[in-house]
Amino acid sequence: MDVKHALSVASNILKSKDIEAPVREAGVLLAFVMKKDISWIYAHSEDKLANELIDEYMEAVAKRSGRMPFQYISKNQEFMSLDFYVDENCLIPRPDTEILVETALKVIGDYNSENKSPARVLDIGTGSGAIAVSIAYYGKNVVVDAIDISEKALEIAKMNARNHHVHDKIHFINADFFSFKPSQPYLVVISNPPYIPNEEIDHLMPEVKDFEPKLALAGGEDGLCFYRGIASNVRQLLMSGGTVLTEVGIGQDVQVKELFENQGLSVSVYKDFAGINRVISGTL
């Protein structure tokens, strides 16, 4: 079987399973299996494929046709121009969350310009470690506490920290945030918490509801459980002049803004790439 034939077979399988853009996804999967750029795949359509490679490719196609996200097949997701290992034990980092990290890095940079002591950051629900590792990687003088209730997610986060050589700047904590008591206050408290209302999870696309960990999705009856927890503890978590930053779901910005304002915080709202209010910032 040559490349062109393999792509045709894979495209038809993916199309039959209602995968959006089956031709593109067939190419991406073959490029992953062959460890080649997608442009190489299309430039070598008549190349013959070894039987072992065909088997590997069809296995990947079967996983994707079963609606497994490509990131879990490839065990990789790019975030903040860094590669992160991901699997079903952690949420797949999304591009919109980069706005959260970039906002935190600005706060840290402003602090570093006037202070010699390291900026202390708390990442609540670290998951893959994408937020914590990115802040530790790009932040000049920073230490991060990264907390998660999932031991398996923390192992992934630790791996990603080692891969990017920032493991010495991050302290990983396996604990329930709702019972967490900090030893010292933080300059930045940051979180992309679970914010999907429990009853809505079964209505999400299969790639999300059937593969991503529900622990990282379910935000309680109205999706605001973690925001209430963060808001109620924010004065114990933040140093004077410190900032809390959270990602929010569509339409949750007004309620989360109010939760932070009720704690006396000065609140700002940042939009995502689609113009949707996505990040809430509250400064003490």
72 inside domain: no
Residues 43 and 96 in one domain: no
Residues 175 and 51 in one domain: no
71 inside domain: no
* Helix or strand run (H / E) with residue 230: helix 225-237
Residues 96 and 47 in one domain: no
Q: Which of 258, 259, 280 shows the shortest CA–CA distance to 269?
A: 280
Look at the chain and report how many structural domains it folds into: 2
Residues 19 and 152 in one domain: no
* Helix or strand run (H / E) with residue 63: helix 51-65
Residues 91 and 9 in one domain: no
Instruction: Output the pTM of the full model.
Output: 0.94
Residues 189 and 221 in one domain: yes
Tokens 């309680």 belong to residue = 220
121 inside domain: yes
Phi, then psi, of 71 in degrees rounded to 5: -60, -35
Residues 155 and 229 in one domain: yes
Q: Which of 35, 49, 41, 58 shows the shortest CA–CA distance to 2?
A: 49
**Torsional sign, CA 85, 106, 184, 167:** positive
CATH code for the domain of 250: 3.40.50.150
Residues 86 and 53 in one domain: no
pLDDT of residue 42: 92
Residues 185 and 227 in one domain: yes
243 inside domain: yes
160 inside domain: yes
215 inside domain: yes
Q: How far apart are CA 43 and CA 48, in angstroms?
A: 13
Which residue range is the domain that position 115 belongs to?
A: 77-283
Mean pLDDT per 10-residue interval, the chain, length 284 residues: 96 96 97 96 94 97 98 98 98 96 97 94 98 97 97 98 98 95 96 96 96 95 96 96 96 96 97 94 96
Residue 273 CB contacts under 8 Å (≥ 6 apart), including other chains? 95, 96, 99
96 inside domain: yes
pLDDT of residue 167: 97
Residues 142 and 194 in one domain: yes
Residues 47 and 105 in one domain: no
Residues 175 and 55 in one domain: no
